[in-house]
Amino acid sequence: MSEQNQNTNTDQVFIFDTTLRDGEQSPGATMTFEEKLQVAELLDDMGVDIIEAGFPIASNGDFEAVAEISRRSKNSVIAGLARAIPADIDRAAEAVRFANRGRIHTFVSTSPIHLAHQMRKTQDEVLEIVTKTVTQARNLIDDVEWSGMDATRTPIDFLAKCVEAAINAGATTINIPDTVGYAVPDEYYNMIKTLIETVPNSDKAIFSTHCHNDLGLAVANSLAGVQAGARQVECTINGLGERAGNAALEEIVMAIKTRGDTLPYHTEIDSTHLARASKIVAAASNFNVQFNKAIVGKNAFAHESGIHQDGMLKNAETYEIMTPESVGIKATSLVMGKHSGRHAFKEKLKELGYELGDNAFQEAFQRFKELADRKKHVYDEDLVALVDDEMGSVEDKIKLVSMSVSTSTGGAHQCDLVLSIEGDQKSVSVTGTGSVDAIFNAIKEAVGADPHLVLYGVDAVTGGTDAQANAHVRLEMDGKIASGRTAEPDTLVASARAYLNAYNRLLVERGASAQGAMAG
């Protein structure tokens, strides 16, 4: 029995983070190799019990990321996802074999609608698949998780047979996914409780929740599952995930921490890392966090109402059930300027949670000095945006060299643009109906491609007229979606660089070279 399963009867809830796997399946949320390593390192440091690092058979890139995360992990179990297919399971085992503690997470559909229309298998055939594939995985590694896809739309009797078969074959964790976000809390509670109470060998495995947010109930369902006896929760930073997303890790953790009276459990998560984790994942995935997002949104601890402000001044507990500091949110501070040196800059980055290599540090410091020359006050948020931007664009093959935009009221808008495309420079001059339209048209002409603009937005990193503009762009081409973002004091430059960052990610998604894309 695994070390984790020896704790089945305790009140600890194990946190299984799938940001790098299920979260990355959100259209446009693809992360670079370096970004995946950065996210995994933070998850490991903050106390995540299990990191689902990817789907190793999906691509060579996914395999390499899971393998490298396995090599670097200090504390977390590293899991690789595998369909109920022998080749998938072998590939997952190969990727996680470098970890101090590895896990194979294999799944198969169980609901009638999936069996009839997706798998075209009978229930008996599925039971045979469960036994065969879990046995294969257990022969390769001690820690095996089994999931019944679309479990909440599966008849409970058949689901119980699948669970029993998986445990008999060696599964140490049983995951009951609400794959399409269909369940409500009472229903999910009863399903978990029934399985634990009726499956003969249920005491030999930890039961797990994996809830999607299609009806906005992912966190509520997950906590209901815990109350029913589940001791693992699968979740993502910021609730990132396909469709409406997954249960949000930060909400699960803080609900348990804050409401010990009704949720008498604990996790090993250091909650002071939550705000930082939210920012890193938002930057890496290019998915902004909504302002009113629980726990980590900009407005989560903001009070505008006069009554609320009065209460807060008298006693913070009148309108705050947790402190900003408990999730790692600090007041903005003015600490850096154009006269700050390398040592002060490095110490500030450490305080903000960054440890950069020599080359990355030198590049970040140079950008900081350039920013300090252009911006009166450099806030913590500016430094976070600067470093996240640098890390997100380090692998870009197409980069902005120079740009000039001319505008006139009611007249033409023109962009003169120079790009570096894998070392070669390309110059174009293009007009548009507006400044941003002209910029995007110029980039499309320079790279020789016309991706569909799915989303474009700009917001300010901090207050003030000299605030950096945080631009985000989402592009679609040939069925692939990628997002890009960047922060710059100049809104038009930020827009151009965000577009290029998204296009570079599209090239990675399509497996194309920059020169090949330009030629095609």
Give the amino acid at 31. Answer: M
114 a known binding residue? Answer: no
Residue 297's nearest CA partner among 311, 310, 307, 287 is 287
Does the annotation flag 413 for ligand binding? no
Number of Cβ within a 10 Å radius of residue 10: 11
Contact present, 47 and 39 (Cβ < 8 Å): no
Give 122: exposed, middle or buried? Use CB within 10 Å, 0-12, 13-18, 19+.
Answer: exposed
The CA distance from 134 to 340, in Å, is: 57
Q: Please say whether the beta carbons of 210 and 176 come within 8 A.
A: yes
Residues of 163-201 as b/e, b for ≥16 C-beta within 10 angstroms? bbbbbebbbbbbbbbbbbbbbebeebbebbbebbeebee
Residue 412 makes CB contacts below 8 A (sequence gap 6+) with 431
**210 in a known ligand binding site:** yes
For the record, the structure tokens of 403 come out as 């740009």
Residue 205 is classified by DSSP as S
Q: Is 246 annotated as a binding residue?
A: yes
Where does 117-244 show beta strands of DSSP type E?
144-149, 173-178, 206-211, 232-235
Of 388, 345, 389, 391, which Cα lies nearest the Cα of 368?
Answer: 345
CA angle 345, 348, 350 (to 5 degrees): 115
Strand 413-421 to strand 424-432: parallel, antiparallel, or no bridges (unpaired)?
antiparallel
Cα–Cα distance, 63 to 54 (Å, whole number): 7
Which tokens in the block code for residue 289? 């966090």
The strand pair at 378-379 and 334-336 is best described as antiparallel
DSSP string, 14-56: EEEE-TTTTGGGSTB----HHHHHHHHHHHHHHT-SEEEEE-G
Question: What residue numbers does the annotated binding site cover?
Answer: 22, 210, 212, 246
Residues comprising the binding site for Mn(2+)?
Answer: 22, 210, 212, 246
